[in-house]
Amino acid sequence: MRLTCRAAVAAGLVLHAASAAALTMSDGTLSINGSGTWGYLRTDDNFYLADSDGDYATAGFDVALSARPADQLVITAQLGFDPDEVALEWAFAEWRFSDLARVRLGQVKQPLGNYMELQFIGTARPFYFLPTSVYGPADIGATSYFGAGVTGALPCGDGYELQYDAYGGAIELAVFEPYEVLEEGHDPAELPELEEQLIENIVGGRVSLVTPPGLVLRLSGYGGSVRKEAGEGRPAFFAGGLSALHHGERLWVSVEGFGFVESGSESQLSGYGEVAWFLTKSVQVAARYEVTRTFLEDVSGGSPLLRHDEAGLGLNYWFNPDFVLKTSVHRAEGLRFVGPREDASPPSGPTLLVVAGAQFTF
């Protein structure tokens, strides 16, 4: 693991802070929260979130630090640790005028859909992984944006509440685009890799309606311009969608549909439906189906590189709300998010993924 000086200093602060429940900072305190995950992942052939040899080295840990040096000021940061790197996932300052308006500046977690801000908290969802079609390298959203935003909540009476987020700046999308081999002039020997795409000058927002039965309805999206290499222009980019979420005592439901458009190049539609039910206080069963369809302006036809269809079934055991064991089986058709096999040969056919692991929070 390669640590930069800045990450090493941050890690030292985390270890020091872990020795006490809270550290006094001026007139405020430093609170510490975290989440962790580990699982054994294996596919039958292709690479999809794991490979056919199986993967044990999947442990991850995220530490969130929150300080309140003044009544109206909150400073928040989160570090992510995994076997390959240490990453700053967000770091921002928030000035709280009131519940109606809070201003955020820095590297801020992106308000998008049901799970983007909760993506590192495995105990907030029924499956080990979030749906790849929306929260994977699908050109939809990012862990955080760089810039400024405002958020707040407005009570509407009778138990209803309207929440809003508005922001601007830039984001870095994690993208995986194996369909580039279909484009004219692409080297067929070049293997697809996970890359980053910078979207600048973005303006985005989310509106959420919270209802008394515990149902949350959301509309979220953003637009900006894609930074390309010199001479390639700056195409416009827009992503957005609708979400519905219910986490009751026994029934959990999440349904989302998203899409993006990059002018002059490509577009995509993605979505999923997920339902989970507690058979007992500890035993939970879950099912999910997701789909992605990508469209290229210069390519016609139904290549498997342009689609993803996945069905998953899960069985979980919850020791308590902060610690859960999860198992699931997934069958993915199409090659939109599937990589080459271990011998670098092209993938083909459906992919079967088996997951068994644990997730926790504190």
Buried/exposed 318-332: b ≥16 CB within 10 Å, e otherwise: beeeebbbbbbebeb
More confident residue, 108 or 188: 108
Give CA angle at 340 (339, 342), nearest 5°: 125
| Percent residues over pLDDT 90 in the chain | 73
Contacts of 19 by beta carbon, 8 Å cutoff, 6+ apart: none
Confidence of residue 72 (pLDDT cuts 50, 70, 90): very high
- Average of pLDDT values for 321-343? 92
> Do 309 and 131 touch, CB atoms closer than 8 A?
no
The tokens for 292 are: 């992605």
The reported pLDDT for the residue numbered 16 is 38
Confidence of residue 189 (pLDDT cuts 50, 70, 90): low
pLDDT at residue 340 is higher than 90: no
Q: Show the domains of the chain with their CATH numbers.
A: 5-361 (2.40.160.10)
For residue 351, the surrounding DSSP H or E stretch is strand 351-361
What is the C-alpha separation between 49 and 47, in angstroms, rounded? 6
| pLDDT tens digits, one per residue of 213-263 | 899 999 999 999 998 876 678 899 999 999 999 999 999 999 999 999 999
pLDDT at residue 198 is higher than 60: yes
| pLDDT tens digits, one per residue of 146-181 | 999 999 999 998 889 999 999 999 999 999 988 888
Q: How far is CA 2 from its chain centroid?
A: 24
In three-state form (DSSP H/G/I as H, E/B as E, the rest C), the secondary structure along 109-165 is ECCCCCCHHHCCCHHHCCCCCCCHHHHCCECCCCCEEEEEEEEEEEEEECCEEEEEE
The reported pLDDT for the residue numbered 188 is 60
The reported pLDDT for the residue numbered 75 is 96
More confident residue, 26 or 263: 263
Confidence of residue 28 (pLDDT cuts 50, 70, 90): low
Query: Cα torsion for 222, 225, 228, 233, to the nearest 10°?
Result: 150
More confident residue, 248 or 182: 248
Confidence of residue 185 (pLDDT cuts 50, 70, 90): low
For residue 88, the surrounding DSSP H or E stretch is strand 86-98
Q: What is the mean pLDDT of the chain?
A: 89
Tell whether the torsion through CA atoms of 227, 229, 234 and 240 is positive or negative: negative
What is the C-alpha separation between 90 and 167, in angstroms, rounded? 15
